[in-house]
Amino acid sequence: MNVAILLAGGTGSRMGDTKKPKQFLNLCGKPVIAHSLETFENCKSIDKIILVCADEFKKELLQIAKSYNIKKITGIANAGKTRSESSWNALCFLMEILDEKQKDKCIVLIHDSARPLVSKKIIEENIECAKNNFACETVIHSVDTIIQSFDRKTAYKTLNRNELFLVQTPQSFTFNLIYSAYEKFFALSENEKPNLTDDASVVQFFNNTKVHFVYGDKKNTKLTTKEDFAVLEILSRLD
Ligand code: CTP
Ligand code: MG
């Protein structure tokens, strides 16, 4: 069984002043989250979709799902204070609804609803890669040179671009692996927790598992600031 967790529990603070979180705003005539919902819905290898969303937007989200005829939604977990907490809430929800046999065979794909243009190809490749390697993340090459700085004012070191990748989602894992990694992460107190902001880094840190790469594409970029709406509208027209 392959389950997609679609994260929509963020507030979109880097968007500045908007009426609603970015995942509920309009992109090319439909809500941002409707784009990836449709892609997961139309992907034959996805069996279930678990949504993560703040209480106040659950009704709106279900309304969107209904309008776009999304049938695979199995539940809505509560948004957490951080992205990690939102992922964890969805995993705990899955823990409750899957039986032991399903847990053993389940592949979980965790995706940012703020990446509306994820393709079927990326999703299929994530499933295949997670089945073969237990853990994978979607990445693209870094086209820019990246430098490290500790004071935010001066360069410390120019990093080797050939070794640098930008991380996207989905990030996909066998259920037991990602659950146990997050279980260890959330067993720590706030002071003890390492600063990990995505799912693959939690798996790497706590389970010492190699996270394999699936190559994504530029279209799968994340809506973060207001100007990204214009960028994504243009990207959506490309094949
Ligand atoms: N997310 C979530 N729960 C959170 C934080 C983030 O489900 N507590 C989700 C967002 O809805 C988004 C994805 O994780 O789809 C990636 O996060 P990001 O782009 O950082 O979104 P926000 O946290 O909403 O934006 P910002 O960081 O600008 O506040
Ligand atoms: Mg955020």
Instruction: Give per-residue pLDDT as tens, 52-72.
Output: 999 999 999 999 999 999 999
pLDDT in tens, 109-125: 999 999 999 999 999 99
Atom of ligand 1 nearest to the CA of 85: 8
Is the distance from the beta carbon of residue 197 to the nearest atom of ligand 1 less than 6 Å? no
Is the distance from the beta carbon of residue 13 to the nearest atom of ligand 1 less than 6 Å? yes
- Which DSSP letter does residue 210 get? P
CB burial of 99-137 (b: ≥16 within 10 Å; e: otherwise) equals eeeeeeebbbbbbbbbbbbbeeebbbbbbebbeebbbbb
Taking residues 214-234, what's their average pLDDT?
A: 98
CB distance 222 to 168 below 8 Å: yes
Tell whether the model's pLDDT for residue 227 goes beyond 90.
Answer: yes
Tell whether the model's pLDDT for residue 130 goes beyond 90.
Answer: yes
Give yes or no for a cis peptide into 21 (omega within 30° of 0): no
CB distance 133 to 210 below 8 Å: yes
State the fold for domain 2-236.
Spore Coat Polysaccharide Biosynthesis Protein SpsA; Chain A (3.90.550)
Q: Cα(158)–Cα(116) distance, rounded to whole angstroms?
A: 32
pLDDT for position 136:
98
Distance 12 CA to ligand 2 centre (A): 7
Please state the domain extents for the chain.
2-236
Tell whether the model's pLDDT for residue 239 goes beyond 90.
Answer: no
Distance 100 CA to ligand 1 centre (A): 31
User: Structure tokens of 194?
Assistant: 């390492």
Tell whether the model's pLDDT for residue 208 goes beyond 90.
Answer: no
Atom of ligand 1 nearest to the CA of 115: 15
Q: What whole-number percentage of the chain has pLDDT above 90?
A: 98
pLDDT for position 129:
98
pLDDT in tens, 188-206: 999 999 999 999 999 999 9
Taking residues 7-18, what's their average pLDDT?
A: 96
Taking residues 79-96, what's their average pLDDT?
A: 98
